[in-house]
Amino acid sequence: MMGSLDKRDAWTARVLDEELRQSATEASMARSRITAEELEDLQLSYDIPTSVTLRAPGPEERADDPPEGFISIYELAIQQGLRLLMHPFFREVLKDWNLAPCQITLND
């Protein structure tokens, strides 16, 4: 019968679900490896104004929960064209939707 699961299928689905949840948790706990020197190079290479403070997250910080006054931006986003200072319109949209720049997908 289509749509029904026998006990083995239900067990397999539960195990896969737990493994996916574990993988997502581990991925969200990944730590930044960027150094202070690399941040300086990034700032110079992409003309990020010195009024913008770049800092790597601390060992207990995560991209989805930046400290007050900071936002999370992945290096790849900058390499792919995201520029700082961000236009006020985009800042307001992100603020209204409670999103960080790293939570949106860039189109090529």
pTM of full prediction above 0.75: no
- CB neighbours (10 Å) of residue 30? 9
CA 96, 74, 76, 53 torsion-angle sign? positive
What pLDDT does 40 receive?
92
- Mean of pLDDT values over 44-71: 85
pLDDT band at 1 (very low <50, low <70, confident <90, very high): very low
pLDDT digits (tens, 9 = 90+) for 16-35: 667 666 665 555 556 778 88
Q: Are 80 and 106 in contact (CB under 8 A)?
A: yes
